[in-house]
Structure 1
Amino acid sequence: MRWLWFCLGWVMVALGVIGALLPVMPTTIFLILAVWCFSKSSPRFEAWLLQHPRYGRALTLWREQGAVSRKGKVFAAAGMALGYVLFFIGAHPGWKLAVCVGLFFLASAAYVLSRPSPREQPANDTEQR
């Protein structure tokens, strides 16, 4: 099972990288899933993601507090809105599909926006250790 979690972790990292390059695909959710997979298979790669200079803070906030930063919420909601607009313009969906996809994006945005914001951290990080 360890190898399955390890491979699945790398699939999630690959999807996260693709999401970082494409404006309509999420990044952080795939990296959250990758951290979870690596927690079951590779402490080394789990630590690598949690300490990543760009995504480590968001991943740690999610793991420790279930929190999403205000900036993260804004980018997620804006990305979903942009994704829906591009879908609507590019696919020319029928009204039923347009409504279903719109409801999916609305539910996803509501979930992200309903997550708590990060709690204040002590000025000295060593106080928590």
Structure 2
Amino acid sequence: MDPVQSNAHHSRHVRHLWTAAGLIALAIGIIGAFLPVLPTTPLVLLAAYCFGKGSPRLRAWITSHPRFRASIEDWEATGAIPPKVKIFSCTIMAATFITSALLGLSPIALAAQGFLMGIGAIYVLTRPNR
């Protein structure tokens, strides 16, 4: 196989992987709409990014979808997260940490969870508002 055909073949596989990652992120995000522990918006943003690398058709669909369009546009234009989403995200992180403590997770697990959620909360809270 000549190198040009090999690169085209490789890039097609890479695009399929990006598309699959986007579909998985979107599916988990949709599940998150019904289960408050899963963060819908970041997963939809991830899906839009993955679709941008793998499927222009799916990227066009998700960025024009009435439910997802505003969040994607806000994020891509300014990195904005609405205050309501910030409060919800931090509340879920705190509730998850408290639940983990009540369930008796080890101090090491709680420390790791608290540290990582703290980084997540700082990131969310320092993004601009919509």
Report the counterpart of residue 60 of structure 2 in structure 1: 47
Percent of aligned pairs sharing the same letter: 37
Report the counterpart of residue 127 of structure 2 in structure 1: 115
From 87, 93, 107, give the equivalent of 2:100: 87
Number of equivalenced pairs: 117
Q: Which has the higher helix share?
A: 2
User: Which is greater in Rg?
Assistant: 2
Q: CA RMSD, aligned part only?
A: 1.5
How far apart are 1:53 and its partner, in Å?
2.7
Please show how residues 1-129 of structure 1 align to structure 2 within 5 Å: 1-90=14-103, 92-118=104-130
Question: In the alignment, residue 80 of structure 2 is paired with which amino acid?
Answer: A
Question: In the alignment, residue 115 of structure 1 is paired with which amino acid?
Answer: R
TM-score calculated relative to the size of structure 1? 0.81
TM-score calculated relative to the size of structure 2? 0.80
Shift in alpha-carbon separation, 1:84–1:52, aligned structure 2, 3 A:
farther
Question: In the alignment, residue 13 of structure 1 is paired with which amino acid?
Answer: L
| Kept after mapping to 2: 8 A contact 1:23/1:83 | no
Question: C-alpha distance in 2, partners of 1:64/1:47?
Answer: 16
| Kept after mapping to 2: 8 A contact 1:13/1:30 | yes
Identify unmatched segments of 5+ residues in structure 1.
119-129
